């Protein structure tokens, strides 16, 4: 019987990676894995060593396609970045996407009252959305499946890029996968009803964004009482928005706020605490504001939420943070 490990590694096209590496005479390769795949480090090392490559595994996190271990790249001929699809153009990097295989049966059972549906998923699930679309069309739905800016698969979304839903015409959105972070983002981005179906656990639900919005509004209102504000810039290549941070600082100072910019790789409550800011503005991954905010002692706002504090945007015009609008495809440009 095959193990989970066998099945995941079986869906990776190693022969194509080996030939790419041989073509450029790469000998020493870096392997960067997200936390959930780090326990494959030994197996992956053996797979590459058998083919004559030297391997060094990154000890850093790997939160998304934006998060490239450039330090490890300096030590190796090539870097293999696992589990994400390319959004940055970096020499000597090969992205190795990870695809979750899932059954199509749950889509035959799904009952969505709206007649037209836009399909979305994260990269791990999006590779199979064409097949999901065919099933839903057989059931009589009109299905929209568009490729977003910078993204590989039709229907693929990132927590900082919902352009697969730009100008969407469908009456509702169906998110395929786990967790509520992406479907909540899709609901705010489109203003439409969003459903979530996990084809592995068979969970189906309509996404409720009210609790999320209430929490974000509370954070904004609390920040409005603050005078001292720290603006965070990440050093991670695809999250680095230094220009935006400096521009926000300039606008904040015009409004009489005391403001400073902090450059850091990993953002944590412990690292930030000693700055004693009344609130923080996060120009790095928006997930830090949306998902990790409770770990911080002060509100952690997105740039769009900070605009509300500055009086440049209304509460009614609440918007998700989209990094791709500011991201340079080459990490050498801030």
CB nearer ligand SF4, residue 80 or residue 158: 158
Say how far apart CA 67 and CA 71 lie, in whole Å. 12
CB nearer ligand SF4, residue 160 or residue 197: 160
CB nearer ligand SF4, residue 64 or residue 148: 64
CB nearer ligand SF4, residue 158 or residue 186: 158
Q: What is the dihedral of CA 39, 40, 42, 47, to 10 degrees?
A: 180
What's CA 270's distance to the chain center, in Å?
23
**Shortest Cβ 181–ligand SF4 spacing (Å):** 9
Residues 100 and 178: beta-carbon distance below 8 Å: no
Region of 48-56, 154-162, 192-200, 245-253 interacting with ligand SF4 (CB under 6 A): 154-162
Residue 239 binding ligand SF4, by CB under 6 A: yes
In the set 65, 143, 145, 172, which binds ligand SF4 (CB under 6 A)? 65
Name the burial class of residue 284, with classes exposed (0-12), middle (13-18) and buried (19+) by CB atoms within 10 angstroms of its CB. Answer: buried
- The string over 12-31, giving b where at least 16 C-beta atoms fall within 10 Å of a residue's C-beta and e elsewhere, is beeeebbeebeeeebeebbb
- Comparing every residue's Cβ against ligand SF4, the nearest one is 64
Site string for ligand SF4, 155-184 (x = CB under 6 A): ---xxx------------------------
Crossing angle for the helix pair 210-224 and 181-190, to the nearest 10 degrees: 80
In the set 63, 82, 95, 153, which binds ligand SF4 (CB under 6 A)? 63
**Shortest Cβ 202–ligand SF4 spacing (Å):** 26
Instruction: State the number of CA atoms in the 13 A half-sphere of 272 facing the CB.
Output: 30
DSSP 147: P
Neighbours of 290 (CB within 10 A): 20
In the set 81, 133, 240, 287, which binds ligand SF4 (CB under 6 A)? 287
Residue 223 binding ligand SF4, by CB under 6 A: no
Residue 285 binding ligand SF4, by CB under 6 A: yes
CB nearer ligand SF4, residue 63 or residue 195: 63
CB nearer ligand SF4, residue 112 or residue 288: 288
Say how far apart CA 21 and CA 202 lie, in whole Å. 40
Residue 62 binding ligand SF4, by CB under 6 A: no
Cβ neighbours of residue 330 under 8 Å, at least 6 residues apart?
A: 88, 89, 90
Region of 42-50, 58-66, 167-175, 269-277 interacting with ligand SF4 (CB under 6 A): 58-66
> How many residues sit in the footprint of ligand SF4 (CB under 6 A)?
13
CA distances, 66 to each of 60, 76, 86, 150, 300 (Å) = 13, 19, 9, 12, 20
Residue 241 binding ligand SF4, by CB under 6 A: no
- Which residues ranging from 95 to 124 are in contact with ligand SF4 (CB under 6 A)? none
- The contact set with ligand SF4 (CB under 6 A) reads 63-67, 158-160, 238-239, 285, 287, 323
């Amino acid at each position: 019987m095959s193990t989970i490990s066998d099945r995941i590694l079986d869906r990776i096209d190693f022969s194509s990676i080996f030939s790419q590496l041989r073509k450029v005479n790469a000998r020493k390769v870096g392997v960067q894995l997200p936390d959930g795949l780090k326990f494959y480090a030994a197996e992956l090392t053996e797979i590459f060593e058998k083919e004559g490559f030297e391997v060094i595994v990154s000890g850093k996190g790997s939160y998304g396609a934006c998060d490239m271990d450039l330090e490890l790249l300096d030590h190796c001929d090539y870097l293999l970045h696992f589990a994400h699809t390319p959004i940055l153009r970096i020499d000597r990097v090969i992205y190795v996407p990870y695809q979750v295989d899932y059954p199509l049966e749950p889509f035959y059972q799904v009952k969505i009252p709206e007649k037209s549906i836009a399909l979305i998923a994260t990269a791990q699930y999006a590779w199979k959305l064409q097949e999901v679309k065919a099933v839903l069309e057989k059931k009589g739905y009109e299905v929209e499946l568009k490729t977003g800016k910078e993204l590989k698969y039709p229907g693929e979304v990132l927590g900082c890029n919902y352009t697969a839903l730009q100008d969407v015409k469908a009456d509702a959105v169906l998110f395929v996968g786990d967790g509520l972070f992406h479907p909540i983002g899709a609901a705010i981005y489109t203003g439409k009803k969003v459903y979530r179906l996990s084809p592995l656990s068979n969970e189906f639900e309509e996404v409720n964004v009210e609790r999320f919005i209430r929490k974000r509004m509370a954070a904004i209102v609390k920040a409005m009482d603050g005078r001292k504000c720290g603006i965070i810039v990440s050093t991670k290549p695809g999250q680095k928005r230094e220009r935006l941070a400096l521009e926000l600082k300039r606008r904040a100072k015009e409004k009489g706020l005391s403001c400073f910019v902090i450059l850091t790789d990993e953002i944590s409550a412990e690292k930030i605490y000693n700055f004693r800011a009344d609130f923080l503005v996060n120009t790095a991954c928006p997930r830090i504001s949306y998902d990790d905010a409770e770990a911080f002692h002060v509100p952690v706002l997105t740039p769009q939420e900070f605009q509300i504090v500055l009086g440049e945007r209304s509460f009614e015009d609440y918007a998700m943070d989209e990094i791709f609008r500011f991201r340079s495809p080459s990490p050498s440009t801030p």
